[in-house]
Amino acid sequence: MFFTSVNFGLFIACLLIGYYTIFRKFQWQLLLIGSFFFYAFSGFSNLIYISVTICSTWFASRQISRLRLKQKQFVEKNHDLSKEDKKAYKATVNKRQKMWLAFCLLFNFAILAVVKYTDFVIRNTNMITDTGFEPVNFLLPMGISFYTFQTMGYIIDVYRGAEDEPNIFKLGLFTSFFPQLIQGPISRFGDLKKTLFSQHKFSFEVFQSGLARVVWGFFKKLVVADRMMIVLRALVATPGEYTGVYVIFTVLFYAIALYADFTGGIDITIGIARMLGITVKENFNRPFYATSTADYWRRWHITMGTWFKDYLFYPISASRPMLRFFKWSKMILGEKLGKRIPIYVSTMILWFATGLWHGAEWHFIVWGLANGIVIVISEELKPLYAMFHKRFSVGDRVWYHGFQVFRTFWLMSLIRTLDVYANVRHTFRMYWSVLTDFGWDRFLHKGFSGLGIDYVEYIVVSISIFVMITVGFFHYNKKIEFLSLKPDYRCVLITLLVFAIIIFGVYGYGFDSQQFIYNQF
């Protein structure tokens, strides 16, 4: 059930009516039923996967909490124990807790690995060994990467001392909450539970604010992203024809289309949650205003980045093997370089995992590693940057800030284009064509004709992009909160956006509604 489908509109309307007319103490139970009903549309068999994740995570978390409580009671009852005995008992309990944590992580990540990466392994095995294993063709359950990471973050937090959720149905709602099930954000239980299980009285202002966010998301998706995807599909369908200068436009168009698509979906998610009185964390912070790769990833898909940082990067960096490697590298490479190498190794592992999380294809892995390499190189060049700024003092100049933003945008967009073409090798051939076969004359002769939309639609999408840029600029400079206007102004805004979607949106008879790009993860 796509967000952009009529079925979803009917579903959310019925749910909202029921949500605010039912007794408020039953609101979260209705959300649980609604979330499972929504997920059933992706396939009833997929309910088995998410139910197994919920049950295994709940059971393991209860065992970890039970052991923690048992340890506390044991210490309270045995005051005369020596410090060594208490330490030994604590170590025994911690070992058992770690076993439950390991079971939960291995079990659920194994499910994710099997359904998502089995065919990837088979394809590469066939290629390397010249064997002929048949692909399994597992149907990837919708949102499995998102809900697996979300629940595994929860079990790690419980192991680290956070309070667990004794009610399995509440944990089930946290895992399956339908607005964020498709493409995130990846929420933390401690954050989401504050409003997810609370009783909510209808508030017109809160409801209207959420509706404005939803409509804004649909505007970005239907007016901008889906229209630009028509052009992108035409550019990629016959890549031999659209080389050189067209590659630059492909890079630019995909960057904008992906941003409009992904942020549009997140706007819809946050807006629906807000209409229900529930607060979901923001997932973007104007990434195209970033001045470096690291800054970009602090702004783009924020919840994914913080998940990898908190649950992968820091544990790897502080692990015993990495600490031993740290000592060895300092001894062999010297103090300065030696202490940086383990951090860089952890960084590359993190970005390899990030690429693999995005998909079972080499272009995702190369995309992840490319981001890691750029970040490592940037760290190594920091002394040169410092010398440059000391010599020329341009850091506070507007033009230099603009250069940094421009540089980061194009660098990130170039790397992102690995998603677009058929494979990694072909992507680099297309990059090379910009240098060897720019074809400016060919572009002046043909332009953008034959790419699926006419000049009027190019004007529509250009104006729509300008609107997005303007909104981003106002937010960036804190001059106006576009979606936090007074109710009367917000009503006018919603009306204008609805009419823009109706008149200029890409939908209707003969149109194959496009799922959100991040649905595949």
338 burial (CB, 10 Å; 0-12 / 13-18 / 19+) is middle
Tell the residue number behind the tokens 């010398």, with chain if given.
Answer: 387
CA distance 433 to 437: 5
CA-wise closest residue to 481 among 130, 213, 176: 213
pLDDT of residue 509: 41
**Residue 411 token pair:** 């660098």
CA distance 148 to 142: 11
**Residue 371 token pair:** 């981001």
CA distance 385 to 365: 29
**Residue 366 token pair:** 């190369």
CA distance 255 to 410: 9
User: In angstroms, how far is the first alpha carbon of the chain from the final one?
Assistant: 16
CA-wise closest residue to 323 among 345, 353, 351: 345
CA distance 35 to 31: 6
Q: Note whether 232 and 246 are within 8 A (CB).
A: no
Q: How many CB atoms neighbour CB 200 within 10 A?
A: 16
**Residue 143 token pair:** 């949102």
pLDDT of residue 38: 92
Q: Note whether 179 and 273 are within 8 A (CB).
A: yes
Q: Note whether 504 and 218 are within 8 A (CB).
A: no
**CA distance to 25, 303, 304, 384, 394, per residue, from 370 (Å):** 49, 21, 18, 21, 28
CA angle 413, 416, 417 (to 5 degrees): 90
**Residue 382 token pair:** 């920091």
Q: What is the mean pLDDT of each run of 10 residues along the chain (521 residues)?
A: 82 94 93 94 88 97 93 79 81 92 96 92 87 84 92 96 94 94 90 93 91 92 92 86 91 94 93 94 91 92 93 89 83 79 90 91 93 92 85 82 93 92 88 90 84 88 90 66 71 88 71 53 50
pLDDT of residue 476: 60
Q: Three-state DSSP class for 477?
A: coil
pTM: 0.90
